[in-house]
Every structure is written in C-alpha cells, then in structure tokens.
A and B are shown apart, each in its own frame.
Chain A
C-alpha cells in the first residue's frame, strides 16, 4: 500500500513514485537563522504562553517551532513569509497541546495552578480567580475549530490584520469576517460550557 506524490505537473499515476522533500540545514548557525530566531522568538513564545499557560512548556514548544523552521530552510528561501509560518506553526502546536490536555480532563485544574503563580495582582484571591478564568478560556479554545482558535490567539497576541492574513494564509479582506465568526463561536461555546458558573 502506498500513495504516490509527485509535484504538481505530474500525476499520481505517473511512474516513478517519488517523495519530494527538502534537504535539512545541517547547521542552525547558518547565516540568517539566528537573526530570524531573535526577531521572532518573543512573538512565538508569547503566542505559545497564551495557549499553554506554562512558561517552561511554552519555551520547549517554541524551540520545537524553530527546529521545524530550521529543518525547512526552503521557507526562508521561498516566499519570505517566515513570520506568518512561525505564528501558524506555533498556534498549531499550542492548540494540539491544549486539545490533548483538554482530553485528559486535567487541564482546567492544571492551568489554574500554572497561572496562579504568575498573578498580575498582589491580591491572592484575584490571582486565583484570574487563573480559573484563564483555564476556562483555554478549555473553550481547545474545543473551537482550530482556525477560530488560531485567529483569536494571534489577534490577542497583537498581530495586525495584515500579519493575521500572512499567518493564516487568507486574504486581508477576509480577516475581519473570520474574526467575527471566531468571536461568535467563542462566546457560544463559553456560554454552553460555563453559563451556570460565570458570565462571559
């Protein structure tokens, strides 16, 4: 059993089954990679932190994102949209993690513990409440369509509409509509899950 993939000019029925792939960059210190890393790391980390709520884990995942970039050097050579690719890959990884955590059903409790330590207030009660709410927001994101969760998190991370269009690979003119749909889906899901406990 096999599936044959050729480039777009051919057909899967062509002879010569051939898997087309990149060669890897053997040295991450290659020119340009470090500057890409330094430029985009803060944003990638910020997106991942929002999704997973744990700094150590977010750093691990951010490293994974850059390893993926490092292995796909064609990205840097081809379309120049490395920032968009990084944001998309980071949110994909973060959402995968979030969904896996949600499935384990420990997520809200775990997220509460994780975020409570990073409180924004000196009031311990306020920190606990905020952490609880963050856990709920992540649980809702985990259950949205990935495209909706992606746009919400990236927008909350400060991406402009142009950057969102680049990251999600959509036309600039459709970003507003997608955002509206994502917000509707978020509110609907939040209310379905938590209407009896907390207003949105």
Chain B
C-alpha cells in the first residue's frame, strides 16, 4: 500500500472514516513509520489550531438562545417591503458557461451591476451611463477556466453575486400579438424584419432593475483565487454602489429556434434543424449608475488582465473605449471572430462564432441606433445578417 495522503490521515484523526477505512489505515500505520510520523505531526498541528479556535467558542456563562424566541424576534423585525434577491447563484452553481463566465467576471470587476441601502444611495451624486456604441473585446478563456461551476472561483463569484445583488424592479415577460401591441407596451417604435414573410413570436421582456454594493475583500479574494494576486483592486471600490436599470425590451423570434432550458435530453440540433432561426432583440439603452469616484477605466484594465490580456494590451484597449457609453461584449478568442460593418445606416459589429449554442455555428450582429440597442442573432452563415438587418422597418 502506498503511503497515506494527509487528507485521509486528517480524517482518521477526526474519527471521520468508517470502520472499514479506519481499520485499513490502522494496518498501514502499524507497518509504516513514515506515515506514523506524518500522523503525529498532523495531530500536533491540528491540536494547536483547534485549541486556538476553541477560544472563540461562547463561554459556559453565555446563555443559549431559544430558537423559538429568536424566531419571534425575527418576525417582529420583518422589513416592511423585503426586496427580492436574484438567483444568479443558481445560474452560476448549475451550468456556468465559459462564454458568459467571462462576462460575469468582467461585470463584477468593472462594476456593471450594483446598488445599496437607500440612505447611502440618496447621499451620493451618481454618474449616469448610457450605451451609445458597442465594442467587442476578445478574451482568453484559458485564463478563466477557474470560472467553471465546480471550481472555487466560480463558486466565489456565484456566492458574491448571490450575497450582493438586490433586485429593485422586475416585471414578467409578456407575449404579444403584433408590433403595434408591443409599441404600446414599450414606448418606442418596434421594428420587424420585412425580409421575412413568416410571423415572429414577439415578446415584451419585463423591465428590470438591480443593484449591488461592491466589497473589496470579496472581489480581491476572487482574483486571488484565480492566482492573480498581482492585480490589486483600488480600495476606492469598497462599498461603491452600482445600479442598473434595463428598460422593457422586445424580442422577435423567427423560425425554428432552440428554447433555452427546453432542449435538455434531446439530441443536439444540427445546422439544418436551426436554419431559418433568427432572433431579433431591441432594447433602449440600460442605464448604469455608479458613484463618480469609481474609475471605470482602471477597473476595466484590471478585468481584462484577469481575462488573460497583457497589461499593455488591456491599457491600449481601454484607452480606445469610452467606458461611460460603450457596451463591451467579451468573446472568447478561440471561439470566433468579429468585424465592424455598416448596418441600418450606422456602424455595427458582426460577431461570427464557430460553435455557440448547441455547437452550431452562428452569428450575432449588434448595433445602436437612436438610443436603441439592436441584436440580430442566428445560425448558419453570417452573410445573411446584414441584409436581414437592413430590412428592418
């Protein structure tokens, strides 16, 4: 039998092995002086640390709380309007996809989301940011492998978001019959693809608002966990409040598109299955409110370094971006390419992904016009994107 690992020996010390395992360990120990010595060292270390931690325990004179009494007090302290909290953590815990793990990390670090208690909120003068243009930044997912759901950084990000985001506004999506009904609900002119003769499924997505308070220690801890202790977040972010408001959006889905969450257990769709699927989204610019002292460019530079970019490249990219008016879309360097193109009379960005949803190649065309962000996403050749988008009316 090979020598025993420390973890097993530690479990043995704590009596956390079953009888059979414990007996096997005893037999090995009887024959292995090296493991016996390792066990003695571990026992001494454990005893010292346990003794230190034992000083934290409540003393015997401390009265114990009656849970029933504590519950009555808990009920009495019920806030008048408890704010719901997001289940971002469920998303992160369950199926954290690298593509938006990068986005999540950027989001947390760049402080795209956040908020705070009303009293501090009112005391601050906030910078209001609005999207006027879109920029794409390639990120290196190798650097973000730690954001996989089972990993420590992935869990830390999920827990951070779960602990810190408070939803302030939410309304349910609503399926509508046609564009004019959507117009009435959203308050802007909804446009559809005249190049398509089929009738899309139009949904008005509910208005959303959420807020988060940044916590320097927790965010630095996440960077440390990524092995990037060299990146030091500025202390000015601690306690900073960021608020996001997303107005009502309209989505129009044409053709045989996959439905999120409903394709599990079925065979993976092929390009042929998804040909003709086009998803159009229109949303007025979300508003992000941040404290004026928050240096977005500095944070973005750090975030891009965390996503695998060199310090010089990150700085160079950030110098070209006005962070107060640009929606930055991270795409994995090895998953696709992007180009700028004229669309709908303005400059847009066409992203081509070799295999995104269900491994089928696709494209996403993004542009901003008259304060509305448009995205046109589909499967198959990206050549069809611009003509389709130009048919909007």
- Chain A positions within 8 Å of B, measured between CB atoms, are 1-24, 28-29, 34, 37-39, 41-42, 45-46, 49-51, 53, 55, 59, 62-63, 66-68, 70-72, 74, 78, 88-89, 92-93, 96, 99-100, 103, 118-120, 130, 133-134, 137-138, 145-147, 152-153, 156, 160-161, 169, 173-180, 183-184, 186-187, 190, 200
Closest 7 CB pairs of A and B: A15-B281, A8-B95, A176-B7, A177-B7, A24-B84, A3-B107, A176-B10
CA–CA, A188 and B85, complex, Å: 38
- Beyond A15-B377, A92-B163, A137-B52, whether A180 also contacts B58 by CB under 8 A is no
A residues near B50, Cβ cutoff 8 Å = 156
Given contacts A13-B331, A14-B375, A187-B45, 10 further A-B contacts (CB under 8 A): A8-B97, A11-B356, A12-B100, A14-B279, A16-B279, A21-B88, A50-B53, A120-B59, A176-B11, A186-B49
The answer to whether A187 touches B218, judged by C-beta atoms less than 8 angstroms apart, is: no
Residues of A within 8 A of B94 (CB): 8
Tell me the nearest residue of chain B to A132, going by C-beta.
B55
Given A41-B70, A175-B7, A156 contacting B65 (CB threshold 8 A): no
Decide yes or no: A1 and B131 within 8 Å by CB, A8-B94, A21-B84, A190-B52 being known contacts.
Answer: yes
B382 CB within 8 Å of chain A: no
User: Which of A11, A15, A67, A68 makes the CB contact (< 8 A) with B280?
Assistant: A15
In the bound complex, residues from chain B placing their C-beta under 8 Å from that of A160 are 16
The reply on B122 being an interface residue by CB < 8 A is: no
Seen from chain B, the residues whose Cβ lies within 8 Å of a Cβ on chain A are 5-11, 14, 16, 42, 45-46, 48-50, 52-62, 64-65, 67-68, 70-71, 73-75, 77-79, 82-88, 90-91, 93-97, 99-100, 103-104, 106-107, 110, 112-113, 129, 131, 152, 155-156, 159, 162-163, 167, 170, 173, 203, 205, 208, 210, 215, 217-218, 221, 224-225, 244, 246, 249, 251, 258-264, 279-281, 283, 286, 288, 323-329, 331, 351, 353, 356-357, 364, 375-377
A-B contact pairs, 12 of them (CB 8 A): A3-B112, A4-B100, A8-B94, A8-B96, A10-B357, A14-B364, A42-B67, A134-B56, A169-B93, A175-B11, A176-B14, A176-B16
Choose one: A15, A42, A156; the contact of B376 (CB below 8 Å).
A15
Q: Contact check: which of B129, B173, B217 meets A99 at CB < 8 Å?
A: B217
* Neighbour of A88 across the interface among B73, B159, B327, B375, CB < 8 A: B159
Q: Is the CB of B52 within 8 A of A59?
A: no
Q: Which of A14, A42, A50 has the most CB of B within 10 A?
A: A14
A25 to chain B, nearest CB (A): 9
Known: A13-B353, A17-B283, A92-B159. A63 touches B82 (CB 8 A): no
Q: How many A-B residue pairs have CB under 8 A?
A: 277
Let me know if A37 and B67 touch, CB within 8 A.
yes
Name the B residues within 8 Å of A21 (CB-CB).
84-88, 167, 170, 210
Residues of B close to A53: CB separation below 8 A: 56
Do B82 and A186 touch (CB < 8 A)?
Answer: no
Tell me, rounded to whole Å, the shortest Cβ–Cβ distance linking B6 to chain A. Answer: 5
Report Cα–Cα, A59/B112, bound state, in Å.
33
CA distance A66 to B74 in the complex (A): 9
In the complex, chain A residues whose CB is within 8 Å of the CB of B54: 156
Specify which of A9, A17, A92 is in contact with B281 (CB 8 Å cutoff).
Answer: A17
CA distance A119 to B101 in the complex (A): 48
Which residue of B has the minimal Cβ distance to A168?
B155
Cβ contact within 8 Å between A63 and B58: no
Interchain CB contact under 8 A, B48 and A14: no
Select one of B59, B74, B283, B286 contacting A1, CB under 8 A: B286
How far is A14 from B329 in the complex, measured between Cα atoms in Å? 12
Instruction: Give the residues in chain B near A66, CB-CB below 8 Å.
Output: 74
Contact at B48–A187, with CB atoms within 8 Å? yes
Identify which of A67, A118, A169 contacts B155 (C-beta below 8 A): A169
Q: Is the beta-carbon distance between B163 and A89 smaller than 8 angstroms?
A: yes
Chain A residues in 8 Å Cβ range of B88: 5, 20-21
Whether the pair A184, B261 counts as a contact (CB closer than 8 A) is: no
B376 proximity list for chain A (CB < 8 A): 15
Residues of B within 8 A of A59 (CB): 65, 70
Give the Cβ gap from A69 to chain B, nearest Cβ, in Å: 10
Closest B residue to A174 by CB, please name it: B7
Contact indicator A20/B56 (Cβ below 8 Å):
no
What's the Cα separation between A119 and B106 when bound, in Å? 47
B251: chain A residues at CB < 8 Å are 15-16
Which residues of chain A are near B100, meaning CB under 8 Å? 3-6, 11-12
Residue of B nearest to A19 (CB): B208
